[in-house]
Amino acid sequence: MTDVEGGLDEPAELEPEQGSLRLASPDDRHDAAAWEAAAAAVLRKARRLGEDDPDSAVWDALARTTLDGIAVAPIGTPDSVADLATSGRPTRAGDWDVRAWVFGPDAEAANEAVLVDLDNGATSLWVELGRGLTSTDLPTVLRRVLADLAPVVLEAPHEPVAAARALLAVLDEQGVDGHPGTNLGADPVAAHLRHDLPLDDALGDLVPVAQLAREHGILGVTVDASALHDRGATDAQELGYAVATGAAYLRALTAAGLSLEDALGLVEFRFAATDEQFPTIAKLRAARRLWARVVELSGGATETAAMRQHVVTSRAMLSKYDPWVNMLRGTVAAFAAGVGGAESVTVVPFDVTLGVPDALGRRVARNTSSLLVSESHVARVADPAGGSYAVERLTDDLAHVAWEELGRIEAAGGVVAALADGSLLARVEEAAAVRAGEVATRRRPLTGVTEFPHLDELLPERTGEPDPVRRYGAAFEALRDEPAAAPVFLATLGPVAAHTARATFASNLLAAGGIAVDVAGPTDGVESVLAAYAAQPVVCLAGTDATYAEWGSDVVAALRDAGARHVIVAGKPIDGVDDSAAMGVDALAFLTRTREALA
């Protein structure tokens, strides 16, 4: 079953709704040309457009391209969706399930945490085994949890069958059948991705766990696409992987004797939500469209094509330093997950990058969803993004790129073969390298890490090991983990008004690499700079271009005579310096060179 060789849009749209997306009212008389003229005037003032450039050039100037190569226009227009029909609409009605995440290393502490979560807004549990907790700890972790009211979702990569039996034993002891949303969580492909477990018989434990789930009327299979996201995958790669893995699981289950409908009824998908809210909304909508198409190609009935979505805020986007910013990232991601139609949402605690989250981290995590649902009423509208020109266009583009990724995986022989031959992860690594380059040059800024770092901050203390996911800012965090042994002498040239902009830029840039500065200034000449100099080996000049031209070379020569080994200038290079830093610099490479000079 599950032939994915058909096109995404053949022979018909995936969903029955095909209403017009032209939502502009007859009173809206502002056409694209009027917007182009207004936008072009602003860009010319900012020198991003030339005086001779046509107004229509604003589209290229303001468009951005995603890591999947999808061009995102600065605004949506009716023309951009003229050939589209609404697809991927959410099926959730009402509030989403607030799913609390718990992992080791202590079973008693985990039980205390989940009871507090359930008493204060959480409505289901995601229990991860393998970081201190084992299947034998489940009775302790779930003590006093009413498992017929609160779904329990397992993640047990190292012992899926034993964990499934242990959870069922807990249900038997309670004398309940378990909530229909309970999931035994078999996901052997994600277990390989996260823990490098053997792929030889990757689907071996899938069938027995699924059969146990079917016997007890609960879910049994998870397709955790966030496992690939955490390796650096793009949105389209995450979607292609999810659908390919789901198809592989359907093949295995139907080959074991289950009907397609029974197999579909056992599966739940897990996706990552980032703080890029519109791509996240589009990703969840595109996922439903893709899965519906696979079910259609497999001969499944329309009513069986619904995709259960558990969405977890991205762990890769979080930061170790200035972790409080993670609350903002998690809020935006949770909003996008809810608007995108997720049935269940897990907000990752802000302090997971430091160790096992404490009571504060867990409270903020669950309250984020509670506030969005109960205070902001985000869940009251079934499909808030439906009909949005920008979201509909992005959904369609993303669905087609993801379908192409699915085709590449299937051409390799399916997801297991694509992982075994390295082709899938090679594409992911290419995308991760591009993202890393954007982070390194600060075109993709990370607040508290690459932008506005605070060298003297006191991080909250947490017990246990930090979450092992490779974060987007990991390279900068590694520099911060081992601060430079000596500061850089920041020589500010001229009065405060003249040097402040570049001095601030240089200070923040150096701090992003764990490098402190000793500031001298304001100064009015070579002698005043030398008077503040204390024989630091690395010097950074900060001033205006006019000041550099007037006496920059003299101060460089004087500092070298006084003992400076490595001289940097904030701005464009000038004669006599060893390095320079301006907007767009590869910050990671620059900081590495500077630290080497300090050493």
Paired strand residues for 223: 269
**Among candidate residues 419, 434, 458, the one where a domain is terminated:** 419
Same domain for 223 and 150: yes
Between CA 77 and CA 56 the distance in angstroms is: 14
For the ranges 21-35, 50-64, 357-371, the maximum mean pLDDT occurs at 357-371
Higher pLDDT, 102 or 202: 102
**Among candidate residues 365, 389, 419, the one where a domain is terminated:** 419
Mean pLDDT across the chain: 93
Tens-place pLDDT, residues 409-453: 999 999 999 999 999 999 999 999 999 999 999 999 999 999 999
Q: In sequence order, which residues have a C-beta less than 8 Å from that of residue 83 and are 6 or more positions away?
A: none
For residues 545-564, average pLDDT: 93
Element (H, E) at 100: strand 97-102
| The pLDDT of residue 14 | 40
| The pLDDT of residue 18 | 42
Same domain for 311 and 378: yes
Same domain for 164 and 118: yes
Same domain for 240 and 200: yes
- What is the pLDDT confidence band of residue 53, given thresholds at 50, 70 and 90? very high
| The pLDDT of residue 23 | 52
| The pLDDT of residue 407 | 98
- What is the pLDDT confidence band of residue 84, given thresholds at 50, 70 and 90? confident
Between CA 30 and CA 364 the distance in angstroms is: 43
Same domain for 309 and 235: yes
Tens-place pLDDT, residues 254-310: 999 999 999 999 999 999 999 999 999 999 999 999 999 999 999 999 888 999 999
pLDDT at residue 399 greater than cutoff 70: yes
Same domain for 155 and 271: yes
Same domain for 239 and 136: yes
Same domain for 172 and 73: no
Residue where the block lists tokens 């060789």: 5
Tokens of 437: 């380059």
| The pLDDT of residue 237 | 98
Range of the domain at 537: 482-598
For residues 521-537, average pLDDT: 88
Q: In sequence order, which residues have a C-beta less than 8 Å from that of residue 454 and are 6 or more positions away?
A: 321, 322, 448, 511
Q: Tell me if 347 sits within 8 A of 327, measured CB to CB.
A: no
Higher pLDDT, 93 or 239: 239
What are the two backbone dihedrals, phi and then psi, of residue 37, each rounded to the nearest 5 degrees? -65, -45
- What is the pLDDT confidence band of residue 28, given thresholds at 50, 70 and 90? low
- Which residue type does 582 have? A
Vertex 289 angle, CA 237 and 262, to 5°: 100
Query: Taking the alpha carbons of 531, 532, 534, 538 in that order, is the dihedral positive or negative?
Result: negative
Would you tell me the crossing angle of helices 423-440 and 474-481 to the nearest 10 degrees? 60
- Specify the number of domains making up the chain: 3
pLDDT at residue 21 greater than cutoff 50: no
| The pLDDT of residue 4 | 61
C-beta atoms surrounding 560 within 10 Å: 15
Tens-place pLDDT, residues 247-256: 999 999 999 9
Paired sense of beta strands 64-65 and 71-72, if any: antiparallel
Question: Would you say residue 535 lies in a domain?
Answer: yes
| The pLDDT of residue 405 | 98
**What's the predicted TM-score (pTM) here?**
0.93
Number of H helices, E strands in the chain: 22, 15
| The pLDDT of residue 8 | 74
Question: Would you say residue 83 lies in a domain?
Answer: no
Same domain for 220 and 183: yes
**Among candidate residues 419, 445, 465, the one where a domain is terminated:** 419
Same domain for 585 and 539: yes
Question: Would you say residue 54 lies in a domain?
Answer: yes
Question: Would you say residue 458 lies in a domain?
Answer: no
| The pLDDT of residue 20 | 47
For residues 397-412, average pLDDT: 98
Same domain for 159 and 56: no
CATH number of the domain where residue 567 is located: 3.40.50.280
Vertex 526 angle, CA 521 and 528, to 5°: 40
pLDDT at residue 16 greater than cutoff 50: no
For residues 528-548, average pLDDT: 93
Q: In sequence order, which residues have a C-beta less than 8 Å from that of residue 531 and are 6 or more positions away?
A: none
Query: Taking the alpha carbons of 411, 272, 150, 184 in that order, is the dihedral positive or negative?
Result: positive
Between CA 58 and CA 54 the distance in angstroms is: 8
CA–chain centroid gap for 420, Å, is 25
Same domain for 69 and 122: no
Tens-place pLDDT, residues 157-194: 999 999 999 999 999 999 998 899 999 999 999 999 99
Question: Would you say residue 144 lies in a domain?
Answer: yes
Would you say how long the chain is, in residues? 599
Question: Would you say residue 3 lies in a domain?
Answer: no
Three-state SS annotation for 442-479: CCCCCECCCECCCCCCCCCCCCCCCCCCCCCCHHHHHH
| The pLDDT of residue 598 | 94
DSSP state of 386: T
CATH number of the domain where residue 347 is located: 3.20.20.240
Question: Would you say residue 407 lies in a domain?
Answer: yes
| The pLDDT of residue 26 | 65
Question: Would you say residue 476 lies in a domain?
Answer: no
